[in-house]
Amino acid sequence: MTNSNQTTARKPGIPAEQKPVPLALTARISTLASNQSTILIGVMVLLIVVFSVLEPKFFSAPTASNILTDWGSVVLIAVGQTFVVISGGIDLSVGAIIGLSGVVSAWTMANVLKVDQTVSGADASGPLLIGTLVSVGVGLLVGLTNAFLINKLRIVPFIATLSTMGAALGLSVIISSGQPIGSANNFSLIAAMDPKTNPLSWALIVVIVVVTIAGLFLHKARFGLYTYAIGSNTFAARGAGINVERHLTLVYALSGALAGLAGMYVYLRLGAGSPSSGTGRELDAIAAVVIGGASLMGGIGRIWGTVLGALILFTVQSGLIMVGVAPDWKKVVVAILIAAAVAAQTLQSKNGRK
């Protein structure tokens, strides 16, 4: 540090707090048991065991592939939401961005790039790349709009992102006239990338890479540190010289851009850009984030938790369907999961903070 050459004497009499000595085995097990991700993995394993016992077909590659495919469409926006929630905000617009970016991207590919069903193979990769950039760009624009409303107009994030959610939904219906655009079913490259036909499709690999990079930036880099600092204590963050408004702009832009990427993913899955393709997904994302242990008060949350939270969410959903529970019960079970996650969090922080 800058002043480390100063000559102030050390105070010998003051005992510095010791680093914890290696714990006894029982203590180690109990720390492990109170560790968030251990609990989540435990829940995950339990769910797989229970559903497999109730319906042996559940324990199969196609089921796993289905769950992973669904997971891929929500984990991107859930990761964006993790940053937003840690910073102390919320982003309700991400579901609508999936619809809007998918529609705009599909429209561009169909009408500007003149992609039709005759285009295939390597010819498709260019348009696909441009389509992805358009999709991410649309998400980025909505994210920047959110940041503008929150930073410049001082609208609370809930209301700001609720308005852009409405606007994005409306726009995507206007652009598409309410109809899905551009069937890509014969679009061979897209078909090859369709996560349905191949469990680890290229699309899913891209998702996993993006999530990993986001996790590194959240937990290892300055970007994440500032996100936590702002959510933990905005006054302290500002007092430490952090440009809070600029950082929040980046956070909402990131959330929007990831939602745009998710829009492309969903487009590939459906083979078309549909205005309603992301409806309600923002709630799935928030559920995943909360199940993963983040606090809507800000300052707390982990990417790994969100990743597992989203996985648990879709394991429950597909498991319930496979064991023959009526689909409407799905919502009830998800609601119970969220309540349980929040309750567990409250209890834990009560124990943790004396």
Partner 1 sequence: MTGEVIYEVKNVSKRYGSVVALDGASLKLHAGEVLGLVGDNGAGKSTLVKVLSGAHQPNGGKIYLDGVERTWGSPREALEAGVETLYQDSGLAPHLTVSQNVFLGREKTVKGIFGKMGFLARKEMEHDAHEDLERVGIAVPASDRPVSQLSGGQRQAVAIGRAVAWARRVIILDEPTNHLGARQAGEVLQVVRAAKAKGLGVIFISHTLPHVLEVTDRVVVLRLGKIVMDAPTSEFDGDRLIGVLTGTIQTVRVEGD
Q: How far is the CB of 240 from partner 1 (least distance, A)?
A: 4
Q: How far is the CB of 238 from partner 1 (least distance, A)?
A: 6
Q: How far is the CB of 280 from partner 1 (least distance, A)?
A: 30
Please, which residue, 57 or 220, has the CB nearer to partner 1?
Answer: 220
Please, which residue, 239 or 324, has the CB nearer to partner 1?
Answer: 239
Please, which residue, 153 or 353, has the CB nearer to partner 1?
Answer: 353
Please, which residue, 57 or 246, has the CB nearer to partner 1?
Answer: 246
| The total number of residues written for the chain in this structure | 354
Q: How far is the CB of 147 from partner 1 (least distance, A)?
A: 18
Query: Which 3-state string (H, E, C) describes 37-87?
Result: HHHHHHHHHHHHHHHHHHCHHHCCHHHHHHHHHHHHHHHHHHHHHHHHHHC
Residue among 270, 275, 251 nearest 98 (CA)? 275
How far apart are alpha carbons 349 and 15 in whole angstroms? 28
User: Where does residue 211 rank: exposed (0-12), middle (13-18), buried (19+ CB within 10 A)?
Assistant: buried
Residue among 260, 210, 220, 229 nearest 100 (CA)? 260
Q: How far is the CB of 9 from partner 1 (least distance, A)?
A: 9
Please, which residue, 3 or 26, has the CB nearer to partner 1?
Answer: 3
Asked if 77 and 95 count as a contact pair (C-beta separation under 8 A), the reply is yes
Please, which residue, 227 or 317, has the CB nearer to partner 1?
Answer: 227
How far apart are alpha carbons 243 and 240 in whole angstroms? 9
The CB-side HSE value for 203 (13 A sphere, CA atoms) comes to: 33
Query: 180: how many CB neighbours lie within 10 A of its CB?
Result: 18
Asked if 103 and 235 count as a contact pair (C-beta separation under 8 A), the reply is no
Give the tokens for residue 75.
């984990």
Q: Which amino acid is at 276?
A: S
Residues that bind partner 1 (CB under 8 A): 1-4, 6, 8, 10-11, 14, 16-20, 216-217, 220-223, 225, 228-229, 231-233, 235-243, 299-300, 352-353
Distance (Å) of CA 7 to CA 12, 181, 249:
15, 71, 43
Q: How far is the CB of 92 from partner 1 (least distance, A)?
A: 24
Q: How far is the CB of 178 from partner 1 (least distance, A)?
A: 43
Q: How far is the CB of 185 from partner 1 (least distance, A)?
A: 40
Please, which residue, 324 or 352, has the CB nearer to partner 1?
Answer: 352
Please, which residue, 127 or 301, has the CB nearer to partner 1?
Answer: 301
Helix (H) or strand (E) holding 314: helix 303-322
Q: How far is the CB of 301 from partner 1 (least distance, A)?
A: 10
Please, which residue, 172 or 295, has the CB nearer to partner 1?
Answer: 295
Please, which residue, 37 or 233, has the CB nearer to partner 1?
Answer: 233
Distance (Å) of CA 322 to CA 46, 69, 97, 101, 262:
16, 16, 30, 32, 26
Q: How far is the CB of 244 from partner 1 (least distance, A)?
A: 9
SS3 181: strand
Give the tokens for residue 131.
């389509």
